Each structure stands twice: as structure tokens, then as C-alpha cells.
Amino acid sequence: MSRELENVIGGLRTMIDISDGYILPKMDLMELKDFTQDFRKKIRAASRKLVAKEIAKEATFYLDFSCLDNKRKELMTSYIKDSINKSELRPMTPCTYAYIRLYYKERDAELKRKGSSQYDFNCNLVLFPSQDYILAILFCEQEEYRKIFEEYEFVSPYPYVEASESEHLSEDDQVKRERWFKALGETFIPYLEGLVVPCYTRPPILTAKNLIDYVNEMSIDERAGKLANLIVVQCKIEKLNHLPEKEKAAQFQKYLETDEFKEEIDDEIDYIKELLIKNVTRKDLVKVR
């Protein structure tokens, strides 16, 4: 091992933070297979619901955008194009927009290495079997996934955070430290040292039938409010575009704190509400717009 790599790993050992660590009883191969298959099945069912809610939000947003008058559509077009990384906006169905939008959200989160429970549905369980127990680390952003894992009666939290002075550790923490250091091996990289159980790989294929209930859970005020905020903000930015950037930013921030801003939002919501489809149907979600 090179000295540079040794230094990197040495640094990792002093910064160890396994806040999502767990301990499970020892299992034979078939027991472990049954457990991981059951957990994977539950995660996929949960992710299906979570993804459906997010897809429904995005599909409804595009549907509502398509209902705007030409002036407001023009204001929003740049935002829509940027949201799906397109240089030209072509007609599409609300469901198509939603899937493209979700793809870029997940991709951006992965590239930036910043998870967000809003749209990061990834879930990987890494197991470290030992003779008398199994250590595990759950990698996920969704709190619902964590709850599912912790509902297994034989799963117990087993976190460990490396203290600055290991000689002051309690006896229990000393045991934890030894176990985790052994589990994480030479590289201290969980995915290289453990058994990886992927529980979510890609968004499920959902139809309008799967989405419609989630779409109609959203109130007309909520739907109009999202568009109203974007439109009012965009209008103000365009009015300030003639100013130098520093002054423009200061004026815009000042505007956001005024009663004028709040009143314009309220007026815009009232106007947009009259343009939107009140009771969305499955056909509305799959019609090209």
C-alpha cells in the first residue's frame, strides 16, 4: 500500500462516523437470503409510493403550466426548459415531463453527492457478517426506509462515532470500535468490505392510474401557489435586469420582504386558480400539451 493511501485511510479512521450502523444476530445463508429478500420487497413497495407522489407533483405542475395564458407561459418557459435540461420545449404529456424531471433531480443529487429525501429514493444495505453477529450500515435518505428496517425485531441500532481520544472510551464503545474497525477492514470503504444489498435501482414504471389519487390530493390553492410564486418572482427579476448585479440582488431581496410581494402573490393565486383544471382525470395526465 502506498504511503499516500495509508495517509488517506488513516484520516478516515480518525473521522469514522457510523450513525446509521446496526447489529443483527448471526444467520445462516438461507436466513440471510430470506431476510434481505423480504427487506428489498418492502423497500420497493415503499419507494413505489414515494416515487408516485413525486411524479404526481411534477406531472400536475406541468399540467397547470399548460393551462396558463400565453403571457404567463412565456414567462415560465425558460424555467420549464431548464428544469428538464432542454434547449427547446416540445409538446409532451405531463407524465413524460414528470419522469424527465425526476431523472435530472436524481442525477444532480448523485453528481453533487447531496442526498435529499424529497427525490433521492436510493437504498443500499451493506452487511458485515461475523462469527457471532452481523453488522450493517443502511445508506438511504428516506426516513420511511429506515423505519422499515428498524421494525425488524432482531435489528438494533449500533452506531459508532470515533472520539478524538480513544483511550477515554467506555467499555461498550471500545467493543463497538473494535468491531467496526474489523468490519471496515483495510480500506474503510463499506462498499468494498461488506456485502452490498441494492434495494432500489430505478424509478418504477407508473401509469396515470397509479398517479391520479396523489394528484387530486393537492388543493387548487397549493397548485396555483407554486406557479404564482415563480411567475411573480420572474416578473420582478425582469424589471430589475437593467441594474448592476449587486444592486439587482439587493433590490430583489428588499422586494421579497414587502407587503407588495405578498399581495401580488395572493392576487396571482386568485387569477391562476380560475385557469386550472379543478378535477384532474387520468386522460389529462397522458394528453400531449
Domain ranges in the chain are: 1-208+283-289
**The pLDDT value given to residue 169:** 79
The burial class, CB within 10 Å (0-12 / 13-18 / 19+), for 112 is exposed
Q: Flag whether pLDDT at 15 surpasses 70.
A: no
Q: For residue range 257-271, what is the model confidence (pLDDT) as tens digits? A: 999 999 999 999 999
The burial class, CB within 10 Å (0-12 / 13-18 / 19+), for 255 is middle
254 phi/psi in degrees, rounded to 5:
-65, -40
**The pLDDT value given to residue 87:** 84
**The pLDDT value given to residue 227:** 98
Helix (H) or strand (E) segment spanning residue 21:
strand 21-25
Cα 118 to Cα 54, 112, 216, 228, 282: the distances in Å are 8, 15, 19, 21, 24
**The pLDDT value given to residue 184:** 95
**The pLDDT value given to residue 115:** 52
For residues 2-14, average pLDDT: 48
Structure confidence at residue 17 as a pLDDT band (50, 70, 90):
confident
Distance CA 206, CA 51 (A): 9
Structure confidence at residue 52 as a pLDDT band (50, 70, 90):
very high
CB–CB of 215/276 below 8 Å? no
Q: What is the mean pLDDT of the chain?
A: 90
pTM reported for the whole predicted model = 0.83
Q: For residue range 210-243, what is the model confidence (pLDDT) as tens digits? A: 999 999 999 999 999 999 999 999 999 999 999 9
